Structure 1
């Protein structure tokens, strides 16, 4: 009986810690260097270009997507409501506009594979050879 309780407790706890990995993707020709800080700055509009000097165009997924929630919490360290407030302030003051939103991992991969300026994120299971992975979180 004790074994059963311990097993069920561990099973429940492990369910809470499971999360999908998010992969940051760029065009295969992009040779810039990336770390979490650089990615965060690009997606928060603090940096407008990659480390090689080329323009950076970030892509967000729709606000309801699992990838966006994981990206917001694991990479940007912000909740959905914090990001909404952040961008509302920048838009209101005229200091920035949020990244373009797309509907799915497939949309991100399609756009990034066709445009060397774009950077986006997808669920790890959706990664294809048509884009280059530069980080996994």
Structure 2
């Protein structure tokens, strides 16, 4: 019985480890930004910062609510669960102090839009990375 339980637990842990995609925060390959700290990225995605560290305008792009990648991103970068993010945006919107980032359906859509505009920033699966965008933070 214990052996069977341990086996199931190990399989569940392995499934969880392979299911989590490595995320990268990206800007256009034409952007002057080469690296950002997690705190800077969190401030941008939480509408606390509207400019890159070099002073240039920045606009964040998000994945859809309920996306495992989105949940993983906010947990690792901003230390917030989906419930905390919902409460955060509800308060920001209600008080007129901000709007959440525009949502796109998947990593490919984020990459394409970011590649075409140096003011945009987004996060994508590392497997979606190509030369059109520059990774500025690897999310672990």
Per the normalisation by structure 1, the TM-score is: 0.89
Say what the alpha-carbon RMSD is for the aligned residues.
Answer: 2.0
Unaligned runs of 5+ in 2: none
Query: Which residue does 1:10 correspond to in 2?
Result: 10
Q: Secondary structure at the match of 1:96?
A: coil
Q: Hey, what's the Cα distance between the residues in 2 that align with 1:5 and 1:68?
A: 31
Query: Which residue does 2:79 correspond to in 1?
Result: 77
Query: Which residue does 1:96 correspond to in 2?
Result: 98
Cα shift readout 1:28-80 (whole Å, capped 9, x = no counterpart): 12223410010001001111100111001000111122221111111121111
Query: Which residue does 1:26 correspond to in 2?
Result: 27
Q: Hey, what's the Cα distance between the residues in 2 that align with 1:90 and 1:56?
A: 19
Q: Hey, what's the Cα distance between the residues in 2 that align with 1:98 and 1:71?
A: 15
The number of residue pairs the alignment matches comes to 137
Q: Hey, what's the Cα distance between the residues in 2 that align with 1:106 and 1:65?
A: 14
Q: Hey, what's the Cα distance between the residues in 2 that align with 1:95 and 1:116?
A: 25
Is 2:62 aligned against 1:63? Answer: no
Structure 1's 8 and 51: CA in aligned 2 closer, same or farther, altered over 3 A?
Answer: same
CA contact (8 A) 1:20 1:70 kept: no
